[in-house]
Amino acid sequence: MTAPLRQSEPIVVPVALGERSYDIVIGRGLLAGLGGRIKALRGGARVAIVTDETLAGLHLGAAESALKSAGIDSARIVVPAGEGSKSYATFEKVCEAIIAARVERNDLVIALGGGVIGDLAGFAASSVRRGLDYVQVPTTLLAQVDSSVGGKTGINSRLGKNLIGAFHQPALVIADTALLDTLPKREFRAGYAEVAKYGLLGDAAFFSWLEKDWQDVFAGGPAREHAIAVCCRGKAGIVARDERETSERALLNLGHTFGHALEAACGFSGRLLHGEAVALGMVLALEFSAHKGLISASEAKRAAAHLAAVGLPTHLKDVPGGMPAADVLMDLIAQDKKVKRGTLTFIFVRGIGQAFVENNVSAAEVRAFLDRKLAGSCI
């Protein structure tokens, strides 16, 4: 795989879901054309924009201006920034605000933000008036390559992440790569974990390209747009084949079984961002695969070395404040959405780019592995 040529036009990635098909539009400066795209999608619609307090100061005004220039009336719904907004209380606030704005079934909700806003606004859209269409305008790398695509929406339970929600596909995804310029470096790195995930789970050539060219992705330009498009094409294909995660779509959870447990153990706080938890979870998943003899220790170390080079956590000791005992983590893992009849399901790999789903994984084996990792042992 080689670096792409400079793109003069947006990249369009279709998500083929029959009557519910939609496009992911990727390019720089797309927010300015938001009004035109919304008008073409749903002429005469009223719009409710859901965003957070941080993004309201960065991009909300531009979004509202773009809509106004196309003659589209909009209402703003602003919630606190951070994972804490994926809660019952904030979900209620957003639903009530959409209703108060008189957004009807033929109108639209716009999710202007990262994964938290996309999940929250999408879940509210799935519920208000028994279902409204919504448009994703992801503002983080993580959201542009992963959470804005595929229709998973939801909020967190005190027992775990994303345990309350619905499958509700967007009508359009607009990924303006210029919005990533305002991301703090830590947030961009965290999002990059999901970029690397697509290479590790199913595209060895892409992972090799990332090892060479990741700095260009961070710098912006065509390499960034190329990486986002590769990830979106990978996810779009999987979602088209397995929309409701009955089989293949579970592969997209590589690293998430461990990662979600680590994130919950940190209280969904700034101690460990979601992408950082995914990075650490992927390292653990590959090390567990090596422990089971599925891949060589050198391949697991290769993946960890790349994530570490980017600046992502790759050891449990990297998490500020430490980790709880293995029993606590196992209780959290037991709440994973992939658990079936009380048995654990994990995503393992047979090599870089060769992930697979394994059911009926021994809880005792997972606990013993975590005990060793918490004690600081290597592969």
Render each residue's pLDDT in the chain as its tens digit; 379 residues: 444 545 568 999 999 999 999 999 999 999 999 999 999 999 999 999 999 999 999 999 999 999 999 999 999 999 999 999 999 999 999 999 999 999 999 999 999 999 999 999 999 999 999 999 999 999 999 999 999 999 999 999 988 889 999 999 999 999 999 999 999 999 999 999 999 999 999 999 999 999 999 999 999 989 999 999 999 999 999 999 999 998 899 999 999 999 999 999 998 889 999 999 999 999 999 999 999 999 999 999 999 999 999 999 999 999 999 899 999 999 999 887 667 667 899 999 999 999 999 998 999 999 999 999 998 866 5
What are the residues facing 174 on neighbouring strands?
Answer: 25
What are the residues facing 154 on neighbouring strands?
Answer: 165
Round to whole Å and give the CA distance between 263 and 275. 10
Round to whole Å and give the CA distance between 97 and 109. 11
pLDDT at position 216 is: 96
pLDDT at position 160 is: 84
Q: Which helix (H) or strand (E) holds 360?
A: strand 355-361
pLDDT at position 1 is: 45
Round to whole Å and give the CA distance between 356 and 73. 47
Active site residues: 130, 152, 194, 235, 245, 249, 253, 256, 260, 274
Round to whole Å and give the CA distance between 212 and 168. 37
* CATH number assigned to the domain covering 185-374: 1.20.1090.10
In the chain, ranges of CATH 3.40.50.1970 domains: 11-182
pLDDT at position 271 is: 94
Strands 47-52 and 108-113: parallel
- Using left for φ > 0, alpha for ψ between -120 and 50, and beta otherwise, residue 167 falls in beta
Q: What is the pTM of this model?
A: 0.92
231: which 2 tokens? 């990830």
Q: Give the CATH number of domain 11-182; options: 3.30.930.10, 3.50.50.60, 3.40.50.300, 3.40.50.1970.
A: 3.40.50.1970
188: which 2 tokens? 């961009």
Round to whole Å and give the CA distance between 197 and 42. 34
Q: Where are the alpha helices (DSSP H) in the chain?
A: 34-41, 53-55, 61-69, 88-100, 115-127, 141-142, 185-202, 204-219, 222-241, 256-265, 274-291, 297-310, 326-333, 363-374
Decide if 159 contacts 268 (C-beta within 8 A): no
In the chain, ranges of CATH 1.20.1090.10 domains: 185-374
Give the CA radius of gyration of the chain: 20
117: which 2 tokens? 């806003």
Question: ∠246-250-252 over CA atoms, to 5°?
Answer: 145
Q: 3-state class of 359 per DSSP?
A: strand
Give φ, ψ of 360 to 5 degrees.
55, 45
Q: How far is CA 20 from CA 102, 107, 236, 243, in A?
A: 24, 16, 13, 11
Round to whole Å and give the CA distance between 147 and 142. 7
pLDDT at position 2 is: 47
